[in-house]
């Protein structure tokens, strides 16, 4: 900025100033506050826009992008869209399109700032931010679930999977019941579980269970999926009795 002389005309009344200011000052003719930014004289509205364009850099929004959105919004409204209306449109678009939870939080942070400048009530915006953040987090958990499940399906030695909870006090009864069962790889319920009753949403994950032919629990699952559970218990008892008889014969032959 040193050595660069500002424009000599007032941005409000267009009066040529004999001594252009090098810092923020009032116009001697109209009395409006003149802002000096990067060697240019601008109005308070233009200065505020410059500040917001700097904040929008984190979302990769340029001045050209801002002007395009403003023109599109003006055509839809039938009047020239204000700076605030254009900013709201850009920030809401960032929330709707972004899949990055951190970027969504930053967008809502700027929306809180804009609402405070306008004197709006922040409570509805806070409630909306919590719902959107929770939805984005559930989508991210769903993507993680499918990524883990695809890895498990690629393992030939894995036939069954089990739902694993976080094991804390926030686990709901529905998720506990879900984690008490074993599922085939292609029959596991979709996670996050829709029937979850926790306020923070389902946090369950899927875990591979290696096949062990000598584990009675797996025999129980295999039988229970083919016959009635009341008959499955009888079948397991018969299987155990048969093993015991073979073991007794083998022991007596020694």
- The pLDDT tens digits for 104-156 are 888 888 998 999 888 888 888 888 887 777 777 888 888 888 888 888 888 87
Is residue 154, in this structure, part of any structural domain at all? yes
Question: Same domain, yes or no, for 59 and 112?
Answer: yes
End-to-end CA distance of the chain: 101
Alpha helices for 11-97 (secondary structure H) = 44-55, 63-77, 83-97
Question: Same domain, yes or no, for 10 and 23?
Answer: yes
Tens-place pLDDT, residues 161-173? 888 888 888 888 8
Q: What is the pLDDT of residue 244?
A: 81
Is residue 133, in this structure, part of any structural domain at all? no
How many separate domains does the chain show?
A: 4
Question: Same domain, yes or no, for 53 and 33?
Answer: no
Q: 């007596």: which residue's tokens? A: 252
Tens-place pLDDT, residues 27-47? 888 888 888 887 788 888 888
Q: What is the pLDDT of residue 217?
A: 58
Q: In what order do the strands lie in the sheet with 33-37?
A: 25-26, 33-37, 40-42
Higher-confidence residue of 218 and 173: namely 173
From CA 136, how far away is CA 139, in angstroms rounded?
5
Expressed as residue numbers, the domain containing 174 is: 140-211
From CA 80, how far away is CA 142, in angstroms rounded?
42
Is residue 186, in this structure, part of any structural domain at all? yes
CB atoms within 10 A of CB 97: 10
Is residue 127, in this structure, part of any structural domain at all? no
Is residue 135, in this structure, part of any structural domain at all? no
Task: Select, from the ranges 14-28, 31-45, 61-75, the one with the highest average predicted confidence (pLDDT).
Answer: 61-75
Question: Same domain, yes or no, for 173 and 203?
Answer: yes
Question: Same domain, yes or no, for 15 and 66?
Answer: no
From CA 218, how far away is CA 85, in angstroms rounded?
61
Question: Same domain, yes or no, for 26 and 82?
Answer: no
Question: Same domain, yes or no, for 144 and 184?
Answer: yes
CB atoms within 10 A of CB 9: 13
Is residue 183, in this structure, part of any structural domain at all? yes
DSSP label at 200?
Answer: T
Question: Same domain, yes or no, for 83 and 69?
Answer: yes
From CA 202, how far away is CA 139, in angstroms rounded?
11
Average pLDDT along the chain:
81
Q: What is the pLDDT of residue 131?
A: 78
Q: What is the pLDDT of residue 190?
A: 86
From CA 72, how far away is CA 79, in angstroms rounded?
11
Is residue 241, in this structure, part of any structural domain at all? yes
Q: What is the pLDDT of residue 7?
A: 59
- Local confidence band at 72 (pLDDT 50, 70, 90 cut-offs): very high
Q: What is the pLDDT of residue 2?
A: 45
- Local confidence band at 197 (pLDDT 50, 70, 90 cut-offs): confident
């Amino acid at each position: 900025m040193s050595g660069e002389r500002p424009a000599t005309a007032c941005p409000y009344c267009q009066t040529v100033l004999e001594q252009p200011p090098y810092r923020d000052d009032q116009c001697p003719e109209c009395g409006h506050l003149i802002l000096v930014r990067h060697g240019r004289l601008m109005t308070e509205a233009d200065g505020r826009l410059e500040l917001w364009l700097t904040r929008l850099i984190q979302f990769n929004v340029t001045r050209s992008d801002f002007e395009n959105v403003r023109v599109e919004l003006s055509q839809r409204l039938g009047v020239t869209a204000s700076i605030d209306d254009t900013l709201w449109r850009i920030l809401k678009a960032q929330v709707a399109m972004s899949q990055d939870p951190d970027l969504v939080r930053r967008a809502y942070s700027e929306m809180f700032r804009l609402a405070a400048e306008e004197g709006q009530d922040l409570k509805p915006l806070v409630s909306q931010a919590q719902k959107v953040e929770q939805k984005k987090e559930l989508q991210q958990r769903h993507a993680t679930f499918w990524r883990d499940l695809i890895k498990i399906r690629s393992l030939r030695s894995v036939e069954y999977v089990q739902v694993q909870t976080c094991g804390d006090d926030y686990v709901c009864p529905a998720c506990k019941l879900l984690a008490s069962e074993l599922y085939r790889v292609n029959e596991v319920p979709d996670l996050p579980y829709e029937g979850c009753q926790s306020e923070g949403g389902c946090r369950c994950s899927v875990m591979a269970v290696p096949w062990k032919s000598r584990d009675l629990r797996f025999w129980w699952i295999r039988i229970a999926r083919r016959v009635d559970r009341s008959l499955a218990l009888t079948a397991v008892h018969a299987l155990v009795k048969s093993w015991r008889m073979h073991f007794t014969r083998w022991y007596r032959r020694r």
